[in-house]
Chain A
Amino acid sequence: MQWESWSAFWQMGGAAPFVWGSYGLTVFLVVVELIMVARRRRETVRRLLRLRRASANGRSGRQVFEEIVE
């Protein structure tokens, strides 16, 4: 074990802001990326379902497109 105590561990020999800043940013970016990927999937599926429902109602692709872009 490298550390005498947990507080020594968190202090990282005085380099805490640099070490924990690096790992903190990593965790933050990974979480953001996972959320973005999940959201993108949901949005795509919903949009494709809307598109299909609308075109089943007999509207042209262009009308549907304009509605969705709004």
Chain B
Amino acid sequence: MTRPERGKSLFRFAAPQLFYPLAGKLAPWFAAVAAIFTIAGLWLGFFVAPTDAQQGEVYRVIFIHVPAAWMSMFVYLIMAFWSAVGLVMNTRLSFLMARALAPTGAMFCILALVTGSLWGKPTWGAYWVWDARLTSQLLLLFLYLGYIALTQAIEDPRRADRAGAIIALVGAVNVPIIYFSVKWWNTLHQGASVSLTKAPSMAATMLAGMFVMALASWAYTIAITLWRVRPLILERERHTDWVGAELNALEGKV
């Protein structure tokens, strides 16, 4: 097999052969950023941000709940983006990126739901209510699980890629519904924590803690996705010479 042309464009990393080592090099850096931001975010959240005047200390769930909820929505949109790129440009790597993102998106979705319910009990008096925000977020979890189940159930990888891409794209409609649900319907769930048009309703240090934790979640997602996509690439490209060489290097070490 000939080496892909090494152009200057970043698009050359769409070649699995070049992306595989790049992902391996970048992942530890993102993991380190995630660790540093987590420490900083928790410090802000637990030692700098004041006690909430209405809720007392229980509001500190926010530093995990809001970033997890944001990530669960972002990750789904990114999956839909890669799925669209894969369908339009027919790039193998795009579908693999979507597959590598799904378990982390599902993890954040579970976290958002469970931490929300742990926050709901002392503040609303109920672990769960069927309001529009909670229901649409639960639907998001089913979309993630459906995507994962479908892509794993279909044996032909290319058909599995395409079927998954269609779920990812159709399901993306749910994301704006989750986001705007607190505006469109009368929900028990409170309105947006952060708005571009309104003055912040929270102390600056609370907001700062939330943003730093959100950045940590981003870095974590990137690191874990890069780690997860690497074996997917090896598997899919196993008939190529470069994977053969990679396997030679790994022989006896794994």
On A, residues with C-beta under 8 Å from B are 1-3, 9, 12-15, 17-19, 21-23, 25-26, 29-30, 33-34, 36-38, 40-42, 44-46, 48-49, 51-52
Find the A residue at minimum CB distance from B254: A45
Indicate the size class of the contact surface on chain B.
Answer: 35 or more
Q: Is the interface of A mostly helix, strand, loop or mixed?
A: helix
**Distance (whole angstroms) from the CB of B171 to the closest CB of chain A:** 21
Task: From A2, A23, A41, A42, give the contact of B51 (CB < 8 A).
Answer: A2
Given known A-B contacts A45-B254, A49-B251, A37 and B107 have beta carbons under 8 A apart: no
The distance in angstroms between the C-alpha atoms of A1 and B244, with both chains bound, is 57
Q: Is the interface of B mostly helix, strand, loop or mixed?
A: helix
Task: From A25, A45, A51, A52, give the contact of B114 (CB < 8 A).
Answer: A25
Decide if B228 touches A26 in the complex (CB within 8 Å).
no
Beta-carbon contacts of B48-91 to A below 8 Å, as 1s and 0s? 11110000111011001100100000000000000000000000
Decide if A19 touches B61 in the complex (CB within 8 Å).
yes
Task: From B65, B220, B247, B251, give the contact of A22 (CB < 8 A).
Answer: B65
Decide if A45 touches B231 in the complex (CB within 8 Å).
yes
Name which of A40, A45, A46, A52 has the most chain B CB atoms within 10 A of its CB.
A45
Beta-carbon contacts of B115-145 to A below 8 Å, as 1s and 0s? 1001101100000000000000000000000
Task: From B47, B57, B64, B235, give the contact of A48 (CB < 8 A).
Answer: B235
Given known A-B contacts A30-B220, A44-B234, A46-B254, A13 and B107 have beta carbons under 8 A apart: no
For chain B residues 151-186, which have a beta carbon within 8 Å of chain A? none
On B, residues with C-beta under 8 Å from A are 46-51, 56-58, 60-61, 64-65, 68, 103-104, 107, 110-111, 114-115, 118-119, 121-122, 220, 224, 227-228, 230-231, 234-235, 238, 243-244, 247, 250-251, 254
**Distance (whole angstroms) from the CB of A17 to the closest CB of chain B:** 8
Given known A-B contacts A18-B121, A22-B115, A33-B104, A45 and B46 have beta carbons under 8 A apart: no
